[in-house]
Amino acid sequence: MDDTPRNADFDVALTMDAAQPPVLDRTVQGLLGTAMDRPDGPLKVTGTARYAAEALPENLVTGFLVRATITKGRVIGMKAEAVEAMPGVIRVMTGHPLLRNPAQGQAHQAPEQILPKVDYFGQPVALVVAETFEQARHAAQALVVTYEEEVAEVDPNAASQVDKPKASQLDQGDLEGAMRSSPVAIDTTYTTAPHSSAPMEPHASIAEWVDGRLQLRGSYQMLKHNVAELADSLGVDEARVRIHAPYVGGGFGSKLGIAPEAVAAAHAARELGRPVRVVMARDQVFEMTMRRTETTQRMRLACDADGLMTALAHEDRVSNLPGEAFSEPTAQGTHFLYGGANRRFTHEVARIHRPCAGSVRAPGEAVGMIALECAMDELAEAADIDPVELRIRNIPDTTPEGGQPYSERALERCLREGAERFGWSQRRGMAERLEGDWWVGMGVAAAVRTNMMEESIARVTLRPDGTALCETDMTDIGTGSYAILTQIVGEMLGLPREKVEVQIGDSDLPKSSGSGGSFGAQSCGSAVFLACQGVRKHLAERMEVAPDDLTLRDGRATGGNRQVALTDLVEAPMSAEGHVKPGETEDNFSIAGYGAHFAEVGVHRDTGEVRVHRMLGVFSIGRVLNMKTATSQCHGGMIWGIGSALTEEIMHDPRDGRIVNHNLAEYHIPVSLDVPQLDAMLLEDTRDDQANPIQAKGIGELGISGAAAAVGNAIRNACGVRVRDFPATPDKIFPHLPDVT
């Protein structure tokens, strides 16, 4: 980046206060929306994409984090000298500025720094730095730490401190009255287990101070916030921190906020005057980063004889460490998915000393939709109405709490087209289909995920050689940012993919939303789109036509009866910044992604093992930017749904809250054999013009929302067992299985 002042004449800023025209439906390059391969794919599959830990700056040393082995109390002693005398060991660091836990998403400031206090088992208490990784790890294991221990509460159901955030409570109408007077009412409680993001790449940082400025190679999702969090943690000015994160090996929320390894590495590098690498061991990823809270959710639903809902209550308890502002917004989707005039929401946060809870893919809907959509299945059963039909009947005209209109919402279409495609009409009654030793059944669930668009800036430069450069601090966490930004630029400027270069993952570039909350592609993509609008305006001026009369395709500009090669038209780099901000549309409309999940499962008649036979997801997210990466996101989400339905559970020790299964052998994410052929279908013709100027909504989290409920409902249909405590491991099913006669 150079410091010469740039010409801002063509910069385009937009605040989303009104619906936007579908400009991208009039461009003609034909690149956007296609299943274009990722430009970064070959680098990744050949191992040449450099991830955070893979650089080797000169003089590099390694740090290894040391974990607390008590749940609550304080560190009162540390035999650092003994460890510093071990071969290769350089220094043991403890105390400030080490973090208690990562920053929550978009926190923009330092997370808790409480040492010598300890708040959970596994909290980082020190960093041991040595010449080699093996020396550092061995010394970290040898370090003797003494503590003064306090009694700690670790059980969310028995916690003495329970917060009830005011903004999350709601009482509308007369819930109890409606429950009593409605012909059909159910009152049911679901629990879900804590989850781990379990990204393939562990949290890793290499820190190096160059001329008083920190250069951090990290694995992070939202660089502008991470810079602020890191700077604040270290007590330095933001201008003295730069983060490089060109490739991120999965985040799923666990890399939203700056994490302990980055601050420890930066601190050690500053103290030692050498570059320091800190990579979390797998067990540390489980213990020292974010988990998804466990939940308890009481659902009360009632409807009239026609299935029209009269009452809906969603009351939940989640947990987190003391002092954490984040609490899982469990009922987020419940507020606007279905009608029902009489409503109640309560939300409780138990303050306990388990590892920190934070955002894990689709915070809110991922677990809230399990309870809601299984409860809807219970209501359908009680009302004797087909579950697809019941859902369709309860799609409200305006939001049931605020009376807002909805923007694009194809829920009914997703349900109907999905039912047709899946063969829903073949579904039989409960426990009526025994095939060999397996009970077979089908389940459905709606999918919904709140849409968010966040402020984003990007710069696009069209160069005299006919290529374009797109620059933003956006990250690619495996999702396909490189691909979709290439496509937006190519589509807008009429360039084939090879002519577009995308530079991201550097905090010195224009500040984007970053990746998180399914807002990355639409927010950053909108900024890139606006920047391209600026470049187009510039080109139109050159061509002496109105921007709308300009056609760009394959490196040529057409307008006013003229066709000119861009290489002839562009004499000096044409650069423009795009800047998008959320505005009134998000207050005036309820904006969300929608879909429907269908699952067919087999349940073993003796052992209660569940196998998903097939699964279909139909989704509507407005414009599809890249069919392949969007479909991949749906597949990933559906697989997460299978995981939360059947296998995934962080096990905490009941006495000290520690995570017992902190490795990928015992924390069971679905493996290939757990995942059948997945059918993910995206409605291609929908556009959400209230969401943003590219009419695209988030897809990263929609696929998980509701997916587990479809599996749970299919289990019920297959064998008659209603699982209300997820994951549905065999022990929760076999005791209730019907006898086979």
HSE-CB for 472 with a 13 A CA cutoff? 39
In the complex, minimum distance from the CB of residue 667 to other proteins, in angstroms, rounded to a whole number: 10
CB under 8 Å to 360, separation ≥6 — which residues?
Answer: 195, 196, 197, 252, 253, 254, 290, 291, 292, 366
Q: Is 668 in the site for other proteins (CB under 8 A)?
A: yes
**Cα angle: 345, vertex 348, 353; to 5 degrees:** 160
> Exactly one of 646, 678, 680, 696 binds other proteins (CB under 8 A); which one?
646
Q: Is 735 in the site for other proteins (CB under 8 A)?
A: yes
CA atoms of 400 and 388, how far apart (whole Å): 20
Cβ–Cβ under 8 Å, residues 481 and 699: no
Q: Which of 444, 397, 447 is nearest to 420 (CA)?
A: 444
Sole window of 460-468, 500-508, 533-541, 603-611 interacting with other proteins (rule: CB under 8 A): 603-611
Q: Is 673 in the site for other proteins (CB under 8 A)?
A: yes
Sole window of 177-185, 186-194, 491-499, 644-652 interacting with other proteins (rule: CB under 8 A): 644-652
DSSP 651: P
Q: Is 651 in the site for other proteins (CB under 8 A)?
A: yes
Q: Is 654 in the site for other proteins (CB under 8 A)?
A: yes
Sole window of 361-369, 401-409, 537-545, 671-679 interacting with other proteins (rule: CB under 8 A): 671-679
User: Which two tokens mark 232?
Assistant: 């604040």
Catalytic residues: 701
- How many residues in the shown chain lie near other proteins by CB under 8 A? 38
Sole window of 4-12, 335-343, 621-629, 725-733 interacting with other proteins (rule: CB under 8 A): 725-733
CA atoms of 579 and 288, how far apart (whole Å): 35
> Exactly one of 58, 665, 677, 685 binds other proteins (CB under 8 A); which one?
665
> Exactly one of 15, 398, 563, 607 binds other proteins (CB under 8 A); which one?
607
> Exactly one of 72, 317, 658, 697 binds other proteins (CB under 8 A); which one?
658
Residue 293 — φ and ψ, nearest 5°?
A: -60, 155
CA atoms of 101 and 63, how far apart (whole Å): 17
- The contact pattern for other proteins, residues 100-139, with x = CB under 8 A and - = no contact, is ----------------------------------x--xx-
In the complex, minimum distance from the CB of residue 68 to other proteins, in angstroms, rounded to a whole number: 9
CA atoms of 113 and 103, how far apart (whole Å): 11
Q: Which of 281, 251, 263 is nearest to 359 (CA)?
A: 251
In the complex, minimum distance from the CB of residue 668 to other proteins, in angstroms, rounded to a whole number: 5
158 by Cβ neighbours in 10 Å (0-12 / 13-18 / 19+) ranks as exposed
Q: Which is nearer to other proteins, 282 or 553 (CB)?
A: 282
Q: Which is nearer to other proteins, 210 or 671 (CB)?
A: 671
- In the 3-class helix/strand/coil scheme, how is 519-588 assigned residue by residue? CHHHHHHHHHHHHHHHHHHHHHHHHCCCHHHCEEECCEEEECCEEEEHHHHCCCCEEEEEEEEECCHHHH
In the complex, minimum distance from the CB of residue 267 to other proteins, in angstroms, rounded to a whole number: 25
> Exactly one of 547, 555, 573, 730 binds other proteins (CB under 8 A); which one?
730
Cβ–Cβ under 8 Å, residues 433 and 709: no
Q: Which is nearer to other proteins, 221 or 647 (CB)?
A: 647
Q: Is 671 in the site for other proteins (CB under 8 A)?
A: yes
CA atoms of 241 and 128, how far apart (whole Å): 23
Q: Which is nearer to other proteins, 420 or 666 (CB)?
A: 666
CA atoms of 538 and 658, how far apart (whole Å): 59
Q: In residues, how long is the chain?
A: 741
- The contact pattern for other proteins, residues 48-67, with x = CB under 8 A and - = no contact, is -------------------x
In the complex, minimum distance from the CB of residue 660 to other proteins, in angstroms, rounded to a whole number: 5
CA atoms of 104 and 255, how far apart (whole Å): 9
In the complex, minimum distance from the CB of residue 187 to other proteins, in angstroms, rounded to a whole number: 27
Sole window of 30-38, 90-98, 164-172, 723-731 interacting with other proteins (rule: CB under 8 A): 723-731
Q: Which is nearer to other proteins, 368 or 608 (CB)?
A: 608
Q: Is 736 in the site for other proteins (CB under 8 A)?
A: no
Burial 8-28 (b: 16+ CB within 10 A, else e): eebbbebebeeebeebbeebe
Sole window of 194-202, 260-268, 670-678, 711-719 interacting with other proteins (rule: CB under 8 A): 670-678
CA atoms of 66 and 57, how far apart (whole Å): 24
In the complex, minimum distance from the CB of residue 137 to other proteins, in angstroms, rounded to a whole number: 7
In the complex, minimum distance from the CB of residue 92 to other proteins, in angstroms, rounded to a whole number: 18
> Exactly one of 58, 81, 211, 731 binds other proteins (CB under 8 A); which one?
731
Q: Which is nearer to other proteins, 161 or 607 (CB)?
A: 607
Q: Is 647 in the site for other proteins (CB under 8 A)?
A: yes
> Exactly one of 156, 441, 505, 670 binds other proteins (CB under 8 A); which one?
670
CA atoms of 366 and 700, how far apart (whole Å): 12
How many of the other CB atoms lie within 10 Å of CB of 394? 21
Sole window of 401-409, 525-533, 586-594, 645-653 interacting with other proteins (rule: CB under 8 A): 645-653
What's the one-letter identity of residue 718? A
> Exactly one of 581, 611, 613, 628 binds other proteins (CB under 8 A); which one?
611
> Exactly one of 401, 609, 613, 635 binds other proteins (CB under 8 A); which one?
609
For other proteins, the binding residues in 134-153 under the rule CB under 8 A are 134, 137-138, 141
In the complex, minimum distance from the CB of residue 45 to other proteins, in angstroms, rounded to a whole number: 18
The alpha carbon dihedral of 121, 123, 129, 133 has a sign of positive
Q: Is 606 in the site for other proteins (CB under 8 A)?
A: yes
**Cα angle: 332, vertex 336, 338; to 5 degrees:** 120
Cβ–Cβ under 8 Å, residues 724 and 661: no
Q: Is 729 in the site for other proteins (CB under 8 A)?
A: yes
For other proteins, the binding residues in 475-504 under the rule CB under 8 A are none
Binding site for other proteins (CB under 8 A): 67, 69, 87, 134, 137-138, 141, 437, 604, 606-609, 611, 646-647, 651-655, 658, 660-661, 663, 665-666, 668, 670-674, 729-731, 734-735
